[in-house]
Structure 1
């Protein structure tokens, strides 16, 4: 790449994500594709953007004392400091002097001499004085908040719900890299065959305990491999694979996936019914529903029909008791997937959790009549907030006495998940630190 171009790209992305609420994973993919970056440059750009976002509050704590007398910084200057300090503190392969030089040169291009002097001064102070310890912070919640870069309201909320030790585990795990996991399309390839094929191309794997179709990628770039590009395998987090595994699926069933995009769980359902049956999928946005259909085509699955609809109004489209199985993978705060989408923790407010819960309640109430008697409904979220999970299910069951948590749900869970932490009478909460996965909640209800 041209001189400074990679860091300038990182700076532009961080400013858009941090100030305008852009989605980190979407913008990064677009930038890597647009600039046709090599895998090495793409990896470095990803590392700088995600790493800076992951550690933003701790970095801010490092630079704050050197900026105390400054007027409000322009957003790009603030993000240039953040990404430079991240590289100095966390990227050993990039020397400090190179990071400082590039930051100063970028600030000269984008600003004036006063800004480049400020950038130079702050970064040289940090280079000279080293990392400022958080141990002097007397409030343990605030200390954990800054040390792990989670907003204080969020840390307080988790401590109230789960206690300090589990919260510490969540926060520190969210700073770690999430292992890549994939799911084989078993109608097209066996897991053993996929393992051998990937191995022949230098991609090392481990078997997932969450799904008979799951693999963990321990070495190599799966996204460039023919098995991924040609739809023999698809990327999906292990905890997310548990959803279709726990739907008690068999061929010829009529299945509704009420909130289906981007289609990972939808296509897994179709695979579990051997593509024999009907998977009716909806998403609120037409573009996203189209993504589900595209994924089905790539994986050569014909049982999926995805369309745009607000699932709160599906009673206008389908007769009551039309489906044997329903998946409601509800819109949620996403607080279980902060490792892959670190920007979420800064963009969300506590009120968002309560706003989303109203949508979750409405969706549960709306899709429940579409389930046949004796049918089963899985409710899942990628969050770890009790209000969106156990409390949502508790309220639904209190208002719908013809539904109950399916007792066989607990018996059918993989053995290592049974009777563990996170189990309640309303379902299973998976924390990210337990099995090195996304945080996730799921339960299975049966209609009596």
Structure 2
């Protein structure tokens, strides 16, 4: 029987990518997350569109400032506005790269770079491909060429704008500056550098040397950085990394891996993972010990991902239960039997993971901090009632805002006289200069309940 020829995969042009990226940026500016928007992008475009859209989000403050200097009045077309911002972000990096004395440095490893004339040509082509933007081709072309001619003076003007300098909203910059007066600039700059792809080896299925050997055989540069953590020097799709289907490892940032190590565990313990999706920390707990574990999440679709991840890692045994429920509504899910250990990885502004999700900074508002802090308090207080005397609760959140971290821990102890705060890392700040060892921003507080 003759083989059926496979359907050819279309290779996206740069104009395809710029247009798709602009559509995603437009969605973010309208309030939708970039991950949700990218899910609707055609498969053949998704990887390239993600790369360019992420880059545009990391330079959005600068692109906006350049646009304001060069364009007196932007046409009332949201897609064209997003296309202009994406094009300016790409063009600025293209010009910077062309002037760089060391174009092979690691700085450029994760930045999409094209020739200057190519960016201009393909951006104008992208605009011309859409009926409602064809009348703006001349404006786009003139703006981009004007930036090329006057880049030095334009950047000098833009540099007076904090949002352009740090590529974060003004309120976010002020918040970080107040909280970390000695490190605020380093924190903002670090948030614009993509994080490494860090693996956590599933020690029930593989060993660190075994995974490192498989990576070396596949010619994937990697380094062992800590315990079961391995960093890939260049991120790539998980399906292209040996051991994924076999459940040898999970992708998990180094800071997030601390949760599974900090909670005191013994085989046979009754354990609750209260905000479990997508399941990385759930799996880590089960990799460490044989537990009677309940994993909760309020989102049924995300809870399904927990089950899928546990199955891939061969951790979906009979002692693991998944339940869709609001962790703060204890009466709806708790059977009254207390837990030996509770992981409270509570919702937050996600201010500690903006290097991986650069759209977050533009989606959040200053008022969101108080809202998430109130939600965190309600969840932590509710979960504390389920901890047995002598048991432990680990409060964790991927934020660098003090209202969601240290202030929460201090207030929790004041509200609960039976809570004893134990040694834990507290605030992890993403300031590590070594790219392989770098990590997200996280906060941890460990409490024991008085017996």
- Asked if Structure 1 and Structure 2 have the same fold, meaning a TM-score greater than 0.5 normalized by the shorter chain, the answer is yes
Take 2:338 and 2:180, find their aligned partners in 1: how far apart are those partners?
39
Partner of 2:22: 11
Is residue 59 of structure 1 aligned with residue 72 of structure 2? Answer: no
Deviation of the 1:137 alpha carbon = 7.3
Aligned in 2, Cα 1:331/1:188: closer, same or farther, shift over 3 Å? same
CA contact (8 A) 1:320 1:369 kept: no
- Structure 1 residue 203, shift from structure 2 partner: 1.5
Equivalent residue for 2:223, pick from 206, 218, 221 = 206
Retained in 2: the 8 A contact 1:293–1:304? no
Q: Does 1:89 align with 2:70?
A: no
Change (3 A) 1:256 1:134: same
Bigger shift: 105-114 or 180-189? 105-114
Note the residue ranges of structure 2 that are not aligned, 5 or more in a row.
Answer: 1-10, 98-112
Decide whether the 8 Å contact of 1:183 with 1:213 is kept in 2. yes
Q: Residues 362 and 105 of structure 1: is their aligned pair in 2 closer, same or farther, counting only changes over 3 Å?
A: same
Question: What does residue range 424-435 of structure 1 map to in structure 2 within 5 Å?
Answer: 428-434=426-432
| 8 Å CA contact retained: 1:189, 1:232 | yes
1:277 aligns to 2:281 (yes or no): no
**CA distance 1:125–1:360, change in 2 (3 Å):** same
8 A Cα contact 1:62 1:131, kept in partner: no
| Change beyond 3 A, Cα 1:150–1:393 | same
Partner of residue 264, structure 1: 280
Misfit runs of 4+, over 6 Å: none
Matched, 1:399 2:415: yes
Note if contact 1:320-1:370 (Cα within 8 Å) is conserved in structure 2. yes
- Note the aligned Cα RMSD (angstroms): 2.0
Pair 1:128 & 2:128 matched: no
Q: Aligned-pair distance for 1:188?
A: 0.7
Report the Cα offset of residue 120 of structure 1. Answer: 1.0
Distance 1:71 1:12, change over 3 A: closer
Q: Is contact 1:259-1:311 (8 Å) kept?
A: yes
Structure 1 unaligned blocks of 5 or more: 411-426
Structure 1 Cα separation of the partners of residues 419 and 276 of structure 2: 23
- Are 1:197 and 2:217 counterparts? no
Change in 2 beyond 3 A, CA 1:5/1:310: same
Structural mapping, 1:323-338, within 5 Å: 323-338=339-354
Q: Any idea what the Cα deviations from partners look like across 1:377-414, whole Å, max 9, x if unmatched?
A: 100000001111111111111111000112xx34xxxx
Counterpart Cα distance in 1 of 2:285 and 2:199: 15
Q: Decide whether the 8 Å contact of 1:134 with 1:147 is kept in 2.
A: no
* TM-score, normalisation: structure 2: 0.87
Is this contact kept in 2: 1:332–1:381, CA < 8 A? yes
> TM-score, normalization: structure 1?
0.87
Taking the aligned partners of 2:145 and 2:363, their CA distance within structure 1 comes to 31
**Residue 122 (structure 2) pairs with residue 102 (structure 1):** yes
CA shift in 2, pair 1:159/1:194, >3 Å: same
Cα displacement (A) at 1:250 = 2.2
Distance in 2, Cα, partners of 1:277 & 1:220:
32
Counterpart position of 1:150: 168
- Separation (CA, whole Å) in 1 of partners of 2:133 and 2:197: 43
Q: Residues 145-224 of structure 1: matches in 2 within 5 Å?
A: 145-163=163-181, 165-209=182-226, 212-219=227-234, 221=236, 223=238, 224=240
Residue 51 (structure 2) aligns with: 47
How many residues matched? 414
